[in-house]
A and B are shown apart, each in its own frame.
Chain A
Amino acid sequence: MKFVCMNCETFMLFQKVEKPGEGSLGVEFRCPTCQARFSMVTNPGETQMVAALGVKIGGRTTVPEPFELTRDTLKEGECPVPAVASATSVAAPAETTATGGGSCPFSSMVAAMGEGTGQTALEWSAEALERLEKIPDFVRPTVRAEVEASARKAGQTFVTQAMMDQYKATPGELSWTPDARQRLENIPFFIRPMARKEIERMARERGRTEVTLELMDQAKNAFAKFMGG
């Protein structure tokens, strides 16, 4: 957020932060050309929200101290060392140019708060979405995540019915030879389902319809390679 002097066509410069009243914050700006000054005043809720960000208004001028926000903000805490300046009390005007504009206490804040995982959201066809809705709600997010993960892996941005069919067909199709099944018993029982899933995933990736001893050897080698062995 910045303020522009519309008459002088320039950014206004940050001057200082002050506390005009209990729980209130005044952030003063000045136009470098016409010298007009104004103060943006916050209410207590807005002040507290800004303080809760743990950033220094007008830019940081001192090295951060451990737990400065916690120690500053606790009402009845015990501070082992003198408290650092409060988040709302730093008021050093920033070095600026006329075209560069003054420091803004809130710039980038909204963008920073709104940043997600960076993953593009996938679109779902109405039919695929309808089928997803039929799945019990406690497993729906997992199914959605897995379908979307496989779609992303395939470079798709749109989830279709066909992908749901593919997902549905995935589990339970593989058979295990008795000796492969026997060998799975070598794995501790509580992680055996995880092992089974990994091996079956590997089998599917290789176009197999049956888990055999040979595939188990391949899986073992793949895991050893993964572990750097």
Chain B
Amino acid sequence: MTPSNDLKTILGKLQFPDDAQVMRQIVDQTLQVKMRMGRIKRKIVVMSGKGGVGKSMSTVNLALAFARRGDKVGVLDVDLNGPCVPKMLGMNGQRFQITPEGAVPPVGPLGLRIASMEFFLRDHDAPVRWKGSMELSPVWLGMLEMNVIREFLADIAWGELDLLLADLPPGAAADKPPAIANFLPELDGAVIVTTPSEVTTDVVRRSVVYARDVGIRVIGLLENMSGYHCPRCGHESDLFEGSVETLASDLDIPVLGKIPFDRELSRSCDAGTPLVDAIHPIAKRFDAAAQRIVDCLNFKQILAERL
């Protein structure tokens, strides 16, 4: 054979099948996510641009509120590097049950099904460390974490769920929210957690714009630490100067609720003994917020019935 040494001519003669099936593997991964998520009626992410505003605490208590309504609820702790949902629910040390059908999540209070990176870690204080050169982590870490999140969405055998709440890691400019949005094409929306602090609302404002920019519907704002709830007299006083109303008005977003700082709530989260009883004033606040989330998601139905 006389080589022409002309690549264009050579390629013109050859077929180009994708026999490595890399694309097919990626498509299969996506289909697996869709198949899993298809069995879940509603999917909501809880996010914020700011860290330390109480996303996980809000996620846990909203999940309990929905469970009190009789919903079958799953909680996905997407904070890979700082998982704390299991601790708040008293579920540290539990493990997924790996079956051919998927990883069966441990069941917590009020029947909540919980998935968290915590369930893969040997010790409670063990950090999440990945194999591979950390010096080169900027090259691969983001992609790896996204694929780990994809596995959390694809491989957990939730069963039939009325609602899946995903607790996202802090930061709006990170790659997680758009990745989640892409993985969840039928995402119902995002609950944004904020505090009244001006510093926080400034950052949260950006995260709302960012969420909308990547096509995530913002359901509403949940204000945490909206005041201090005195355990003795029950009086509420302000912790910060600001308020969520300005932000809500500027961005045209409903306020879903206001949760005061409460020592009993704080203690319950630290001790892993969540406020499951609807009688507690804080639980009532979360019940009201859950109702508002439902109303926001069903607002066209409300219009049809009540207009």
| A contacts, CB < 8 Å to B | 2, 4, 6-11, 14, 23, 33, 44-49, 51-60, 64-78, 80-81, 94-96, 99-109, 111-112, 117, 138-142, 145, 183-184, 186-188, 190-191, 193-195, 197-199, 216, 219-220, 223-224, 226-227, 229
Contact check, B25 vs A195: say whether CB atoms are below 8 A apart: no
**Chain B residues, CB < 8 A from A56:** 25
CA–CA, A193 to B303, complex, Å?
12
CA–CA, A33 to B3, complex, Å?
13
Select from chain B the residue with minimum beta-carbon distance to A94. Answer: B19
Contact check, A48 vs B140: say whether CB atoms are below 8 A apart: yes
* B132 sits at the interface (CB 8 A): yes
* B183 sits at the interface (CB 8 A): no
* B279 sits at the interface (CB 8 A): no
Contact check, A108 vs B292: say whether CB atoms are below 8 A apart: no
**Chain A residues, CB < 8 A from B21:** 59-60, 103
Which of B102, B255, B307 is within 8 Å of A223, CB to CB?
A: B307
**Chain B residues, CB < 8 A from A11:** 14
Which of B120, B126, B303 is within 8 Å of A70, CB to CB?
A: B120
Contact check, A53 vs B143: say whether CB atoms are below 8 A apart: yes
Which of A59, A80, A117 is within 8 Å of B20, CB to CB?
A: A59
Question: Given A190-B292, A193-B254, A223-B301, A51–B132 Cβ distance below 8 Å?
Answer: yes
* B278 sits at the interface (CB 8 A): no
Which of B120, B140, B209, B305 is within 8 Å of A138, CB to CB?
A: B209
Which of B14, B26, B120, B252 is within 8 Å of A77, CB to CB?
A: B120
**Chain B residues, CB < 8 A from A219:** 303, 307
Question: Given A101-B14, A195-B299, A78–B97 Cβ distance below 8 Å?
Answer: no
* B276 sits at the interface (CB 8 A): no
CA–CA, A64 to B306, complex, Å?
50
Interface size on B, residues (CB 8 A): 80
Contact check, B155 vs A8: say whether CB atoms are below 8 A apart: no
**Chain A residues, CB < 8 A from B215:** 117
Which of B209, B251, B295 is within 8 Å of A191, CB to CB?
A: B295
5 sample A-B contacts, Cβ–Cβ < 8 Å, listed by A number: A59-B19, A96-B19, A108-B20, A108-B22, A198-B303
Question: In the complex, how many angstroms separate the beta carbon of B7 from the nearest chain A beta carbon?
Answer: 7
* B139 sits at the interface (CB 8 A): yes
CA–CA, A99 to B14, complex, Å?
5
Question: In the complex, how many angstroms separate the beta carbon of B178 from the nearest chain A beta carbon?
Answer: 10
Contact check, B19 vs A188: say whether CB atoms are below 8 A apart: no
Question: Given A48-B139, A69-B151, A77-B122, A190–B29 Cβ distance below 8 Å?
Answer: no
Question: Given A51-B140, A69-B151, A45–B299 Cβ distance below 8 Å?
Answer: no
**Chain B residues, CB < 8 A from A107:** 18, 20, 22-23
